[in-house]
Structure 1
Amino acid sequence: MSNLRIARRYAEAVMDLAAERDQMDRLGRDLELLQQAIKESREFVAFLKSPVISKEKKQAVLAELFRSRVSDETISFLNLLTAKSREDVLPETIEEFFRLRDERQGIVGVEVRAASELTPDQRQGIQRRFEAITQKKIRIAFVADARVCGGFVAKVGDTVYDGSVRRQLELLRERFVEEIGSSRSVN
């Protein structure tokens, strides 16, 4: 079974439990904290994925690191992942949790890539535009990406909206090629 399928199963299970106990917001905050630790520390990720460190040691370290910062349910969830030797799928499980939560709440995820940091006004304008396009509430992530040549590229689910200067130039080139081709066929 693929890691994504495994992660989805754990995410669904922990989400159902949190919903049943009316702890969805708390779990979301806990998982954001864990996600931040994963993003900021390669050592933490290596620790999670290490086959050399025993399950018991991992459980003790995770409890020591997070007990005062997350709920007992989250510690139990981490212990379950560790006991089942699935702590390596924690990053994917967290991503799946947020994706499923947004889906259940009717929130659409949007990723916007721009060559440089956007101003607050630009961010608000883009957010309003995509809320109008999707007719849903959106959760938007802005990413500075030097590969984008002016403008921005946005991904909404499987759909890409390319408003970059590079794409506009490509479209212009295609139109010129078509016009040149059609003018040659007329002559």
Structure 2
Amino acid sequence: MAELTTVARPYAKAAFEHAQANGQLAAWSSMLALAAAVVDDAAFKQYIARPTLSGEQQADAVLKVCGDQFDAAGRNFICNLAANKRLGALSAISSLYEAQRAAAEGAVDVSVTTAFALDDAQTASLAETLTRKLSRQVNVTSSVDASLIGGAVIRAGDTVIDASVRGKLGKLRTTLTT
């Protein structure tokens, strides 16, 4: 994994710098995500891994599947990746690009796990509160884990707020056993 990140970092940086210079951050996000999804498909991965395919043929295959979703710079990016045998790094490139984009836009992705599903009003209220608390734009994704019993676990980057009943019971158990 570390090797893949090392390989992907300069490509992600180049894509980000180009997108930022041309005001195309969102467009490049969607292009990279689409290309990563295509290349990560098991059947497609097996197809382009054939040793008889040249880098140009691999790039053509990716671009044909993606259709007209890529502009000229995006097509050139895919061709360069294929020529350097780096198509397998597309998902890491996409992830690193998204991290750079979020940092540049002052946004943070927040994962909220609750014991029960949140409705839209609760999600909006939570997003507003977290935006004030973190002083950054917040993108909230939520999931349900019934084993929490009640409350929520909020993850924003390296910050974890465990306000779940399960977490509080764990703390109580630790306190009582020490």
Question: TM-score, normalised to structure 1's length?
Answer: 0.80
Check the 8 A contact 1:151/1:164 in 2, yes or no: yes
Query: Deviation per CA, 1:57-97, whole angstroms, max 9, x where unpaired?
Result: 21121121123122221121111111111111100100111
Query: Deviation per CA, 1:36-56, whole angstroms, max 9, x where unpaired?
Result: 5467x43345556x2636223
Query: Deviation per CA, 1:75-128, whole angstroms, max 9, x where unpaired?
Result: 211111111111111001001111101101111221222345321122112212
Q: How many Å separate the matches in 1 of 2:127 and 2:175?
A: 30
Within-5 A mapping of 1:10-21: 10-21=11-22
Could you say what the CA RMSD is over the residues aligned between the two structures, in angstroms? 2.5
What SS does the aligned partner of 2:140 have?
Answer: strand
Check the 8 A contact 1:115/1:151 in 2, yes or no: yes
Q: Given the alignment of the two structures, is residue 25 of structure 1 paired with residue 11 of structure 2, yes or no? A: no
Residue 133 of structure 2 corresponds to 133
Q: How many Å separate the matches in 2 of 1:108 and 1:46?
A: 35
Q: Given the alignment of the two structures, is residue 80 of structure 1 paired with residue 65 of structure 2, yes or no? A: no
Q: How many Å separate the matches in 1 of 2:81 and 2:161?
A: 38
What runs of 5+ residues in structure 2 fail to find an aligned partner? none
Check the 8 A contact 2:151/2:163 in 1, yes or no: yes
Residue 165 of structure 2 corresponds to 165
Q: Given the alignment of the two structures, is residue 107 of structure 1 paired with residue 73 of structure 2, yes or no? A: no
Q: How many Å separate the matches in 1 of 2:94 and 2:44?
A: 15
Check the 8 A contact 1:66/1:75 in 2, yes or no: no
Within-5 A mapping of 1:4-15: 4-15=5-16
Check the 8 A contact 1:107/1:137 in 2, yes or no: yes
What runs of 5+ residues in structure 1 fail to find an aligned partner? 179-187
What SS does the aligned partner of 1:4 have?
Answer: helix
Q: How many Å separate the matches in 2 of 1:37 and 1:115?
A: 34
Alpha-carbon offset, residue 24 of structure 1: 2.2
Alpha-carbon offset, residue 147 of structure 1: 5.4
Q: Percent identity?
A: 23
Q: How many Å separate the matches in 2 of 1:75 and 1:94?
A: 15
Question: TM-score, normalised to structure 2's length?
Answer: 0.83
